[in-house]
Amino acid sequence: MLIEEHIKRNKLKTYLLFGLYIFLFAAVAFLLGLYTGDVVTWGILFGVVFVVMFIISNFFGKNVIAKMTGAREVTREQEPYLYHTIDGLSIAAGINTPKAYIIETDTPNAFAAGSSPKNAIVGVTRGLLNRLNREELEAVIAHEMAHIKNYDIKVATISVVLAGTIVFVAHMMRRSLFWGRFGRAGMGGGSRRGGSGKGGAAVIQILALIVVIIIAPLMARIIQFAISRKREYLADASGAELTGYPEALASALEKISGMQKDDTKLDNDAIKGLFIVNPSLEDSAGAVGSEQTDVMSFSGKRKSSLFSTHPDVKDRIERLRSM
């Protein structure tokens, strides 16, 4: 299948996934409204929150992500080698040159963020610059350029902010429920409707608790990780096509995947899906050089988890070397 066809299919799947985000916001607002006896107020409140966070993620998302990753912007004078690589690949990709950011950590990795190719950023770690040769660095940057050109960065950036918002809202609701602020309102609503009303209110309370405390943030993360996984294969193929040398990216993935560590500044559930490989050991079953064993299904094949931020690294390398 042509890369352009993959892009179209990914866009359709993305619209469906964002529809699920809207559904999550609506479901939480509706059930919480029933729980407190004020559906309209909660509907308006959650609608405003969703719109505001969407606007923030669309216009300021790259700044939020740069802050979360600990990345700082660098100039051409400070990092001429990095900018020279980015300039050449930007010309080849036919897009504006993104601003370069550096994360001061020895763990090699890279990411891209922004709302469009016109205001994108590319971030790399100090470890990536120090550990990869020129061809491997170009391959990694080309992968990130593919994310930019395919508008993956817009989707990923918005996804990070929306998923984080749902998780944060769920956390706040859990604290409020624990301290009884909503409990009094819910129980009050039930008492006005009599005995059967109390039974219905109790069921609604249970549903609200499940959705707000468990299901909503869980589903938000699953959607976010699904969005991330679906774009890595395409970015690998597009990046390899851009450089004309798939082996360089395969070699870079081998090096990078075996050097990730837990408890680094990159190991953040909210942003790990943005990086070229998962920046923690939780997904190291598929990492080349990992000491952990592969996660196997009953059929004997490696199994992809709903909570994996990236497809299997070994599979990505095999696909690149078969191009």
Q: pLDDT per residue over 56-115, tens digit each?
A: 877 888 888 899 889 999 999 999 999 999 999 999 999 999 999 999 999 999 999 988
pLDDT at 317 exceeding the cut of 60: yes
Helices assigned H by DSSP within the chain: 3-36, 39-69, 80-93, 126-131, 134-149, 152-178, 181-192, 194-209, 216-243, 246-257, 313-321
Residue indicated by tokens 């081998």: 254
- Token pair recorded at residue 58: 């669309």
Query: What does the pLDDT read at residue 60?
Result: 83
Task: State the greatest distance between any 2 C-alpha atoms of the chain, in Å, as a whole number.
Answer: 74
Beta strands 121-125 and 110-113 are: antiparallel
> In a 10 Å sphere around its CB, with 0-12 CB exposed, 13-18 middle and 19+ buried, how is residue 30 labelled?
middle
Q: Are 239 and 139 in contact (CB under 8 A)?
A: yes
Is-contact 313 287, C-beta < 8 A?
Answer: yes
Which residue type occupies 219? M
Find, among 23, 257, 3, the residue nearest to 146 by Cα: 3
The DSSP result for 274-318, as a single string, is GBSS-SSGGGGGGSTT-SSPPPB-TTSSB---TT-SS--HHHHHH
Q: Can you tell me the mean pLDDT for 138-153?
A: 91
SS3 state of residue 99 = strand
Question: What kind and span of H or E run contains 5?
Answer: helix 3-36
Rounded Cα gap, residues 103 and 309, in angstroms: 20
| Section 105-129 average pLDDT | 92
Nearest residue to 62 (alpha-carbon basis) of 143, 156, 149: 156
Range of weakest confidence among 119-123, 134-138, 151-155: 151-155
Distance between CA atoms of residues 254 and 297, nearest Å: 24
* CA-based nearest residue to 28, from 228, 155, 171, 180: 171
266 confidence band (pLDDT: 50, 70, 90): confident
CB 104 within 8 A of CB 70: yes
Average pLDDT value for the chain: 78
Q: What are the pLDDT digits (tens) for 171-214?
A: 777 776 666 555 444 444 444 444 555 566 666 666 666 766 77
For residues 321 and 103, what is the distance between their CA atoms, to the nearest angstrom? 29
Say yes or no to pLDDT of 286 above 60: no
Around Cβ 71, how many Cβ atoms within 10 Å? 23
Query: Quick one: angle between helices 194-209 and 181-192, nearest 10?
Result: 150
Cα torsion through 80, 59, 219, 197, rounded to 10: 160
Is the pLDDT score of 43 beyond 80?
yes
3-class secondary structure, 193: coil
Residue 4 has pLDDT above 70, yes or no: no
Mean pLDDT, residues 135-148? 95
Residue 58 exposed, middle or buried by CB count within 10 Å (0-12, 13-18, 19+)? middle
pTM listed for this prediction:
0.76
Percent of the chain at pLDDT > 90 equals: 31
d(CA 182, CA 150): 44
Active-site residues, by number, are: 144
